[in-house]
Amino acid sequence: MQGLIQHPNMNQSDQPSQARPSPQGPVEFRDHCPPEFLRELLPDPGIGAFSRYAPQAAARQLAALVKVAALPRSRVLVAHCGGRLVAYLTFHPPEADSRWASLPPGQILELGGIEVARGLRGLGLASQLMRRAFSSPDFDATIVYAEALTWCWDLEGSILGMAGYRHMMLRLFGAHGFEPSITDEPNIRYDRGNLLLVRLGPRAPAALVAQFQATLIQKDDES
């Protein structure tokens, strides 16, 4: 799209991708999106899983992406159809009250959200975003985790059912080196379907991995 802002610090990999065809027109991917780029987008109404598709859910989600993109060490990837946001993937440091916030800054990141607009699912957009994020060496020395919580799964918009949806999560994340981890972290423990998915970067220092593993079960601290 012509009018979208080009950030002065963008490197080669952040340039617009070659557009990919879809039933709703060509889809373009963009990595390392700065806030000013995201502010130029319009939200697709099929976005909003994290607000249960309430009115304004899509606009709220886009505003949240702008905030994430402004955080230090964050990364936002999007797919858009002519400036209409149809998918995103975000990474950010652990929240301050998270047990993983105690790990060295920059060496641990949360994959905070992945979503594809309802009308464009099953076309490989989520897989493409994940591929773009993990094909660079950016996360090689890092631990990335995702809290896959059933409350934000779009079970109503899917025919998969809980077990099938969970399996889809395992496939989507598993294809990029994530494995489910056992933890007593309260958000994960809240629902039996929830998953903590963890990717240990191939060059993550052994001491970091050991420190992370020691945080997984804390028994008395947060129960």
| Residue from 126, 143, 188, 196 binding ligand COA (CB under 6 A) | 126
Q: How many CB atoms lie within 10 A of CB 26?
A: 13
Nearest residue to 120 via CA among 20, 217, 199: 20
Task: Using the rule CB under 6 A, give the single segment among 25-33, 59-67, 118-126, 215-223 that binds ligand COA.
Answer: 118-126
Interface residue with ligand COA among 121, 177, 184, 218 (CB under 6 A) is: 121
Answer yes or no: are the C-beta atoms of 187 and 194 closer than 8 Å: yes
**Residue closer to ligand COA (CB basis): 58 or 208:** 58
Structure tokens at 86: 């149809």
End-to-end Cα, the chain, rounded Å: 50
Which of 134, 153, 178, 212 touches ligand COA by CB under 6 A? 153
Nearest to 99 by CA among 166, 145, 142, 64: 145
CB nearer ligand COA, residue 108 or residue 125? 125
- Part in contact with ligand COA (CB under 6 A); list of ranges 1-9, 26-34, 100-108, 168-176: 168-176
Closest to ligand COA by CB, 5 or 45: 45
As a whole number of angstroms, the distance between CA 48 and CA 144 comes to 24
Name which of 165 and 208 has its Cβ closer to ligand COA.
165
| Rounded least distance, CB 184 to ligand COA, Å | 20
Q: Give strand pairing partners of 200.
A: 143
**What amino acid occupies position 138?**
D
Check residue 217 for interaction with ligand COA (CB under 6 A).
no
Q: Does 161 bind ligand COA (CB under 6 A)?
A: no
Under the binding rule (CB under 6 A), the answer on residue 198 touching ligand COA is no
Among residues 124, 137, 161, 202, the one that binds ligand COA under rule CB under 6 A: 124
The answer to whether residue 44 forms part of the interface with ligand COA (CB under 6 A) is: no
For residue 100, give the 3-state DSSP assignment.
helix
User: Which of 121, 183, 115 lies closest to 152, judged by CA?
Assistant: 115
Q: Parallel, antiparallel, or unpaired for β 42-43 and 84-92?
A: parallel
Residue 138 three-state SS = helix
Which of residues 103 and 169 has its CB atom nearest to ligand COA in the complex? Answer: 169
Residue ranges that bind ligand COA, judged by CB under 6 A: 49, 114-116, 121-127, 148, 152-154, 158, 160, 168-169, 171-172, 175
